[in-house]
Amino acid sequence: MSFKVIKPGFLTTIQDAGRFMHAIYGMSQSGVMDEHAFGWANHLLGNDYTDAVLEITFGGVELEALDEVVVCVCGADLDFKINAKIAPTWKSLQVQPTDILSWSLPKHGVRSYLAVQGGFKTQTLFGSRSVNLREHIGVKITQDCVLACAPSSGQLESFMAPQYRPNYHQNVVLRLLPSYQYSEFSDAQKTLFFGQTYTVSNANDRSGCRLKGVPIVFKRDKMISEAMSYGSVEIATDGLPIILLKDAPSIGGYTKIGTVFSLDLAQLAQQQPTAKVRFELMNIEQAQKERLAFNQFFGVLENSKPLKI
């Protein structure tokens, strides 16, 4: 065992790289919302890409270390402190028994990741440790619960150079692959979609991000429900986009104008309501090239074995 939860925070869950081969049973992909910060947190500890971390949304969390363990916090700056003193993020850190790790308020970004050397060892459910509250798979962390992790293999000194750290205050450009019903939208509708700056609304969670803006008038007689991939953008009946995220239902019945590139969704995951976003087109060759480079850097899926279904 390794950490005791003193304060569980607003929304704090164990997540990993996601739940694959289970969409056939109606399950969401689940997994971390910001794959970039998650990748770095594990990378700086020498972990596997798939190792489970704690995803802390908005802060309000306090943990007490029960053992000596090497940790790394990446992603949002939620005023991370160790023993009430500001502590570095994007850097491996050694913590001692009785040390108190805390995250209070969002200063920069929304979601912070706590990785521990070897990953959290919570129960694997349907091939993943990711908690999905909408699907009743796993639960939020609660006061007094103990988060188990593997014993640390030793101290290490690794960090991400400050100039590479992401700026979550920047306006986000979401690159969109022309997929699904893209070709059914008229030029005027596409001009309206790509030409405007949308605002992230309050209706924004791990399942989807609803945007506010000028509605697109789109009428289709009949849309037969079909599978939705991570990042696909529904145009709801009110003409406004909903970007489908990790906990989204696997099947839905709205028309989709395209699919946002996954690494741009990592940036979206750090935005508060009222943040501004716009869309631009991306082609599949470029998307696959960028994602492949990311996968190779972090060793994504290298160790994964196909699950039986």
- Give 196 or 262: the residue with its C-beta nearer to other proteins: 262
Question: H-helix or E-strand containing 289?
Answer: helix 284-298
User: Contacts with other proteins in 24-43 (CB under 8 A)?
Assistant: 24-27, 29
Q: DSSP code of 282?
A: -
Q: How is residue 88 written in tokens?
A: 């570095």
Question: Could you say whether residue 232 binds other proteins (CB under 8 A)?
Answer: yes
Question: Could you say whether residue 16 binds other proteins (CB under 8 A)?
Answer: no
Counting Cα atoms < 13 Å in the Cβ hemisphere of 220 gives: 22
Report in angstroms how near the CB of residue 200 gets to other proteins at its nearest.
Answer: 21
- Rule CB under 8 A: choose which of 40, 180, 198, 218 binds other proteins: 180
Q: Write down how long the chain is.
A: 309
- Give 85 or 219: the residue with its C-beta nearer to other proteins: 219
User: Contacts with other proteins in 46-65 (CB under 8 A)?
Assistant: none
Q: How is residue 192 written in tokens?
A: 């309206």
Write out the E strands in the chain: 3-8, 11-15, 53-57, 61-65, 69-77, 80-82, 85-86, 92-95, 100-103, 108-116, 146-147, 172-177, 198-204, 208-212, 226-227, 232-235, 241-244, 251-252, 255-260, 276-281
Q: How far apart are alpha carbons 273 and 111 in whole angstroms?
A: 13
Question: Could you say whether residue 22 binds other proteins (CB under 8 A)?
Answer: yes
Question: Could you say whether residue 66 binds other proteins (CB under 8 A)?
Answer: no
Which string of x and - marks every residue 107-126 that binds other proteins (by CB under 8 A)?
Answer: -------------------x
User: Contacts with other proteins in 132-161 (CB under 8 A)?
Assistant: 134-137
Name the residues that contact other proteins, by CB under 8 A: 20-27, 29, 126, 134-137, 177-180, 224-232, 249-252, 259, 261-262, 284-285, 287-288, 291-292, 295-296, 300-302, 304, 306, 309
